[in-house]
Structure 1
Amino acid sequence: MGCDGGTIPKRHELVKGPKKVEKVDKSAELAAKWKHCALSQEKLRRPIVSCDLGRLYNKGAIIEYLLDKAAERPNVEAVTHIRGIKDIKELNLTDNPEWEGERRNTKGDRYEDINCGMFICPVVGLEMNGKHRFCYLQTCGCVFSDRAMKEVKTEICHKCGDPFHDEDIVVLNGTKEEVGKLRERMKEKQAKAKSKKSKKSKVAETVPAPSESKGLYDTQSPQVDVAGSSTLQNGDESSQSAVAGPSGSSSSSKGSKSSSSSATKRSIQENTDNSEVFKSLFTTHSSAKRTKDQTSNWVTHTPYHF
């Protein structure tokens, strides 16, 4: 079988040895991390955001994930820790003037530098291509190289001037150890946020509702005793009202209403504090009680009547 035409097979063609372990090209891996979204694997385009673990995403891809988490995506494990828009920060990046990007068509007739980064450090000028460590500030979102942060030590951002602390520095695309530290910091941050929410809820529960507060501090609300008499808590005014039961007559209620209304009308005219002008506004005043001879007959004419 085989060996027709005088062919002589060699040993490596007949004996299959162990497969060689495929090694990942480091330059290609770095280019994938620093030039592509960690969720959609598309090219990074502004606006670019980052999470507490230092991964780079397209903002549109993160919004789509938050709106529909049930959809199937290839790299959902990279965004399981993102629960809302507050867990990401939009980055303030500095463009690289040497980056041509999509401005020219790659025909394969010239050398293309894969290590050329889209963005640079505004202080030192290093390219953000994975060869140098970069970090961003959670307060303002500005991105700098680690060399710039070490050489120019300050508590104010080099680009926008906002103050920051060492806890606000997040390393972009760090190592496994750095990602582990960032994850622990993220968990501590979430625990503090939960404790603050629980304290606010407890304070809200201790504060009485408006209806309850009115019932506690309202001294003008009447109280009805067993005998059916209503009294005020301050003790200044008191009035008695007959409480009609299910078998009570309507005449008793009408008599009580008329007596109370007449009492209020007499009280307005008998009150010495009220002026005569104020008393004349009511029908109980003497000026309103005129005879027919004293009143004049009013005749109205339309504009068409002559």
Structure 2
Amino acid sequence: MGCDGGTIPKRHELVKGPKKVEKVDKNAELAAKWKYCALSQEKLKRPIVTCELGRLYNKDAVIEYLLDKSAERPNADSVAHIRGMKDIKELNLTDNPEWEGERRNIKGDRYEDIHCGMFICPVVGLEMNGKHRFCFLQTCGCVFSDRALKEVKTEICHKCGEPFKDEDIVVLNGTKEEVEMLCEKMEARRAKAKTKKSKKSKAAETVPKPQDSKEGTQSPQVDGARSPVQNGGESSLSDMAGPSGSSSSSKITKSSTASATKRTVQKMEEKSEVFKSLFTSHSSAKRTKEQTSNWVTHTPYHF
């Protein structure tokens, strides 16, 4: 059972100790964050978008997720906070002139830099490979290094010239503490948006409709006009007898009520001229014989 030929076993070969904790390769971890999509694990390619927590995605992968959220994905937890296209921002990145793509060293006769990034900071020139801290602006989506924003302090974007505030700066692929802070800000922002929507809906419900106000103003006039006519009609027609008297009484009451309720808009003194001009009975809506045409169509497309 072993130990043949005079071999002497050592202690670590006979006694099993605790397993060593596997350490993640830093280079592989940085490449997974800055060169691959956080959702589909595919290589980043334009257009590249980011969320409110600073993670990088391919726009196509996010659209596919929003169209079908029921599909099983390995990294669905990383996009659980994305509700729609409004929660993501397309990044305005600056290409690295030294980037030649993946696996260009086919012959193997030259050095291949693993840490070479696809994009750089347009102000300082630092490569976006994970070794340097990068941020983006929520207003325009431009990406800069943290060093550029600290050294060249301004309230206008260095690339597009759009104004921004300190609250609009979001860190890309930040630490756990920074991600927790961004998550708290995101929840507070969404809570404020919900309160604003609820206030607007309540205000819309409390405002009276114009139709209700018109009916309220016209109803007492109609009731007042009907009461004397109906009283007089009943007293005058009560003396008449026979079927002819009943039919004539109904005609008189209908005509009296119709004359009382019919009231043209142009005769209303409380209405303004601008309101009266909206109706065809206004003088401005009438045309002369020269302006009128000799033919009429049911679907006039000549306007």
Task: Give the structure 2 partner of residue 77 of structure 1.
Answer: 77
Distance 1:134 1:253, change over 3 A: farther
Q: Distance in 2 between matches of 1:164 and 1:228?
A: 71
Q: Is the 8 A contact 1:223 1:230 kept in 2?
A: no
Task: Give the structure 1 partner of residue 247 of structure 2.
Answer: 252
Distance 1:46 1:217, change over 3 A: farther
Q: Distance in 1 between matches of 2:219 and 2:43?
A: 70
Could you say what secondary structure the match of 1:194 adopts?
A: helix
Task: Give the structure 2 partner of residue 133 of structure 1.
Answer: 133
Deviation for aligned residue 1:144:
0.3
Q: Is the 8 A contact 1:136 1:143 kept in 2?
A: yes
Tell me which moved more, 187-196 or 105-114. Answer: 105-114
- 1:225-266 CA distance string (max 9 Å, x none): 9979579xxxxxx999xxxxxxxx899279838x96xxx9xx
Matches within 5 A, 1:38-49: 38-49=38-49
Q: Are 1:176 and 2:176 an aligned pair?
A: yes
1:10 is matched by which residue type in structure 2?
P
Q: Distance in 2 between matches of 1:34 and 1:41?
A: 11
2:251 is matched by which residue type in structure 1?
S
Could you say what secondary structure the match of 2:181 adopts?
A: helix
Q: Is the 8 A contact 1:34 1:128 kept in 2?
A: yes
1:203 is matched by which residue type in structure 2?
A
- 1:104-127 CA distance string (max 9 Å, x none): 375666533221001000001000
Q: Distance in 1 between matches of 2:251 and 2:28?
A: 97
Could you say what secondary structure the match of 2:155 adopts?
A: coil
Q: Distance in 2 between matches of 1:230 and 1:27?
A: 96
Please, what TM-score do these two structures have when normalized by structure 2? 0.71
Q: Is the 8 A contact 1:222 1:230 kept in 2?
A: no
Q: Distance in 1 between matches of 2:6 and 2:190?
A: 71
Distance 1:253 1:185, change over 3 A: farther
More helix by share: 2
Distance 1:219 1:108, change over 3 A: farther
Q: Distance in 2 between matches of 1:253 and 1:124?
A: 98
Q: Are 1:185 and 2:188 an aligned pair?
A: no
Q: Is the 8 A contact 2:3 2:9 kept in 1?
A: no
- The count of corresponding residues between Structure 1 and Structure 2 is 248
Task: Give the structure 1 partner of residue 27 of structure 2.
Answer: 27
Task: Give the structure 2 partner of residue 8 of structure 1.
Answer: 7
Please, what TM-score do these two structures have when normalized by structure 1? 0.71
- 1:95-153 CA distance string (max 9 Å, x none): 00111114837566653322100100000100000010000000000000001001110
Task: Give the structure 1 partner of residue 204 of structure 2.
Answer: 204
Q: Are 1:61 and 2:56 an aligned pair?
A: no
Task: Give the structure 2 partner of residue 163 of structure 1.
Answer: 163
Q: Distance in 1 between matches of 2:45 and 2:228?
A: 78
- 1:207-233 CA distance string (max 9 Å, x none): 2235423323446973489979579xx
Distance 1:49 1:229, change over 3 A: farther
Could you say what secondary structure the match of 1:136 adopts?
A: strand
Could you say what secondary structure the match of 2:13 adopts?
A: helix
Could you say what secondary structure the match of 1:49 adopts?
A: strand
1:213 is matched by which residue type in structure 2?
S
1:252 is matched by which residue type in structure 2?
S
Q: Are 1:145 and 2:141 an aligned pair?
A: no
2:76 is matched by which residue type in structure 1?
V
User: Could you list the runs of 5+ residues in structure 1 that have no partner in the other structure?
Assistant: 232-237, 241-248, 265-306
Q: Distance in 2 between matches of 1:135 and 1:78?
A: 19
Distance 1:221 1:128, change over 3 A: farther
Distance 1:99 1:211, change over 3 A: same
Q: Is the 8 A contact 2:96 2:120 kept in 1?
A: yes
Q: Is the 8 A contact 2:138 2:168 kept in 1?
A: yes
Task: Give the structure 1 partner of residue 97 of structure 2.
Answer: 97
Could you say what secondary structure the match of 1:82 adopts?
A: coil
Q: Distance in 2 between matches of 1:123 and 1:239?
A: 92
Q: Distance in 2 between matches of 1:107 and 1:10?
A: 45
Deviation for aligned residue 1:16:
2.4
Distance 1:218 1:165, change over 3 A: farther
